[in-house]
Amino acid sequence: MGFQKSPAPQTPPPQKKHAPPSPSTAKSSSHKSSFSRSFGAYFPRSSAQVQPRPPDVAELLRLVEELRESESRLKTELLEHKLLKESIAIVPVLENEISARESEIERSRRRAEEAEAENERLRKELQELKRLLEVSLSARSNLIKSLKKTASDLGSGIFKREVADTERPRHSRCNSEELVDCSDSVLSASVRSRAPRVPNPPPRPSSSSPSSPSTATAPPLPPPPPPPAKAGRVAPAKVRRIPEVVEFYHSLMRRDSHPRRDGGAAAEVPVPATANARDMIGEIENRSTHLLAIKTDVETQGEFIRYLIKEVESAAFTDIEDVVPFVKWLDDELSYLVDERAVLKHFDWPEQKADALREAAFGYCDLKKLESEASSFRDDPRQLCGPALKKMQTLLEKLEHGIYNISRMRESAAKRYKVFQIPVDWMLDSGYATQIKLASVKLAMKYMKRVSAELETGGGGPEEEELIVQGVRFAFRVHQFAGGFDVDTMRAFQELRDKARSCHVQCHNQPQKLYCRSATC
């Protein structure tokens, strides 16, 4: 739709010029005008006030109205065109989104179908396993009934045969012995019960301690290997408190306006335990066999368990080194049972004393292992400084936790150990705790030597300040933990302190040199 061409304006026709009136006509006209004036005085002409509009103005107004309508219509069409254009641009994006949603719905539908199929398969498998379990249980119950009946019949037959053997002549003795052998083989194959356990004698204590009566009748054992050095007889460590360590630490911490924290050990990620349905079904299936084995152990291993009860109740020790082999022997003997807890609950088992013996033995072994690890630690100069210092920090944390655990155990278990005649001197501050603290002092010496060596190879800067802060913090931590330093560790600390002061002076002189150079320029 476009603009319409307006028609050309019509020019009014030329007016004809009239000739001047003649005298006669002038006379008549004057007469008419006088008449009209006289008549017009009474009847004025209304048409003289309203004149008709020229034809070209009306046409122009009409054209203006049409142009306005065309303009509004064109604006509307232009707006519709823009909206259509924007809609066309959005359509591909919407189509892509719709296709992505449809594909996701399709994938979810397939996964749901697969999960449903897997659930159906597992349901069928569970039903089949339940059916097999019921069949197995019924078969086993029938087998047990038949075995009991066979055993009772065979027992009565053997008794009757023995009575008859006393009355029969001697030539029938061979046949009866063969029959007894056959019946014994049938019983051993059907019942499948284990033979009673013959316990090994407990280990002899290294020192003179009261022993049980049963150990006196036991056959002699070969002499045990020589025990290691006793924990309670270690010479006291030569460490003393150094006030300079505390003073230098506090001065350095005041100077260090931005405290830094040593990174702790990485948190262990607990691994979630997932229960498998098949394992649960297998456990249910084997439950009956397990209960039968427990019942068999209760019936057949009574003498063996009563022997262990007597040994545990009569056990008394004066050295913790003797507790460790006794606990190992006890665990080895109890491992013969199918289920230790399930079998022992049918007897008067001294559970509290056995648990106390295990707790003391394991705590002593852990402490001894920790002290050995700290004493045998060697700093590898080929390793980078950061990982090496981190390893020593981790070892110190282990030593601190070990001492904390021993102090906590001493508070809670010392009375129980004394009641059960378990030695407690290894838990005191004069026992293995002294050796662990001395090992931490040696560890601090290695730490400070490594920091000093790193400062010698460094070129200054904030890294050296951070390293000095770490070294002083570690030294102060060990000083407070161990109660002081020995001579070698104090010498290493003095060396680190001197290097820290020289580094501090050097860092203060560098800005002054830079200022002097800028002033001369």
Q: Is the pLDDT of residue 16 over 70?
A: no
Q: Which residue has the higher pLDDT, 458 or 393?
A: 393
User: What is the end-to-end Cα distance of the chain in Å, rounded?
Assistant: 82
Reported as a pLDDT band with limits 50, 70 and 90, residue 331 is very high
* Cα distance between residue 396 and residue 490, in whole Å: 18
Evaluate if residue 229 carries a pLDDT over 70.
Answer: no
Q: How far apart are CA 366 and CA 372, in angstroms?
A: 10
Which DSSP state fits 370? Answer: H
User: 502: alpha, beta or left, given left = phi > 0 and alpha = psi -120 to 50?
Assistant: alpha
By the 8 A CB rule, do 301 and 197 touch? Answer: yes
When pLDDT is cut at 50, 70 and 90, the band that residue 157 belongs to is low
Alpha helices in 256-347 (DSSP H): 277-285, 287-300, 302-314, 320-334, 340-344
Residues sharing a CB contact under 8 Å with residue 156, sequence separation 6 or more, in sequence order: none
Examine the pLDDT at 455 and tell me if it is beyond 70: yes
Q: Would you tell me how many other CB atoms lie within 10 Å of the CB of residue 485?
A: 24
Query: pLDDT tens, 111-136?
Result: 999 999 999 999 998 988 888 887 77
Predicted local distance difference test score (pLDDT) of residue 23: 46
439-467: average pLDDT: 84
pTM: 0.49
Averaged pLDDT, 172-185:
41
372 closest CA partner among 165, 184, 231, 222 = 231
Kindly tell me if the per-residue pLDDT of 15 is higher than 60.
no
Here the tokens at position 195 are 């033979």
Angstrom CA distances, 30 to 27, 42, 116, 368, 369, stand at 5, 19, 122, 156, 154
Give the 3-state DSSP-derived string for 57-84, with helices as H, strands as E and coil as C: HHHHHHHHHHHHHHHHHHHHHHHHHHHH
User: DSSP state, 485?
Assistant: B
Rounded to whole angstroms, the Cα distance separating 5 from 7 reads 6
* Cβ(465)–Cβ(422) below 8 Å: no
Q: In 43-79, which positions are buried (b, 16+ CB within 10 angstroms) versus exposed (e)?
A: eeeeeeeeeeeeeeeeeeeeeeeeeeeeeeeeeeeee
Residues 1-15, buried b or exposed e (16+ Cβ, 10 A)?
Answer: eeeeeeeeeeeeeee
Q: What is the DSSP letter of 200?
A: P
Look at 464 and 282; give whichever has higher pLDDT: 464
Which single residue is written with the structure tokens 């079904």?
281
pLDDT over threshold 60, residue 236 = no
% pLDDT > 90, the chain: 26
Confidence (pLDDT) at 281: 57
Q: Which of 409, 232, 429 is nearest to 319 (CA)?
A: 232
Place of tokens 């102060």: 476
Neighbour tally for 33: CB within 10 Å: 11
Q: What is the pLDDT of residues 408-447, one digit of tens each?
A: 888 888 889 999 999 988 888 787 888 889 999 999 999 9
User: Which residues are paired to 240 by β-bridges?
Assistant: 485
